[in-house]
Amino acid sequence: MVTLLNTEKEMYGPRTEQAVAILSRLLNMDWFDNVGTPHYRKEAEKAIREWMDSFHFERYHIRWLEKGELVPSLAEMNLAKSTLWRSLFPIPERMKQAAAAAGREGCLAKLADEILAHLFHHCFDAAYRAFHQYGSSVVKTAVCSVMYIGGMACAWESVGDLDGWESNPFRALLRVLEYGHWPLGMDEEQLYLF
């Protein structure tokens, strides 16, 4: 089990313990263990629906990709056409503004730097094992997905005590990763899982 050495009180804001707990969860996951299998799909779908509901995107459909669909689907995905992505894209900037208004921009910046470095080093090997046969772009996309989901989940905690930030929707996406699946992208009306 991986543990973090530096958990200074309020290093990432008043919810430092929660941010560190999320990172610890991430660093101890068996990433991508069930990709391409039916194992834990129902549980992963429930978590994805919870996440989508938090953004009021009930119209999105979940589409499970089969192994032969992975590369072509990633190549065709266009985030610019996704209403969901357009809702997600401004969140980091709004988070940064909330942290600045609370005098915590340094906490958020420190969290982003440290969390992303930890995540990269811990998930790259798992992504490589799971996806090397599909090529380096798939490995890179998987690593970036983990870094985005994990980074957002942890960063949310740095402002989670502020009005409007109390409920962290990215905790639901963490469960998808814990179930060994990969929420790999979205387009106009579908969210893709593998």
Residue boundaries of the structural domains of the chain = 16-193
**For residue 28, which phi and psi values (nearest 5 degrees)?**
-110, 10
Given the structure tokens 């997600």, which residue do they identify?
88
pLDDT at 2 exceeding the cut of 50: no
The reported pLDDT for the residue numbered 111 is 84
Q: Please tell me the predicted confidence (pLDDT) of residue 55.
A: 84
State how beta strands 183-186 and 61-64 pair: unpaired
d(CA 41, CA 131): 19
Confidence band (pLDDT; 50, 70, 90) for 8?
low
Q: What is the DSSP string of 95-112?
A: HHHHHHHTT-HHHHHHHH
Lowest mean pLDDT among 89-93, 107-111, 161-165: 107-111
Whether residue 185 has pLDDT greater than 90? no
pTM: 0.89
DSSP H helical ranges for 4-135: 16-27, 41-54, 70-76, 83-88, 91-101, 105-131
Is the pLDDT at 96 greater than 80, yes or no?
A: yes
pLDDT at 189 over 50: yes
Q: Which pLDDT belongs to residue 9?
A: 64
pLDDT given at position 5: 40
State how beta strands 190-193 and 61-64 pair: parallel
Tell me the per-residue pLDDT of 133-148, one tens digit each, with 9 for 90 and over: 999 999 999 999 999 9
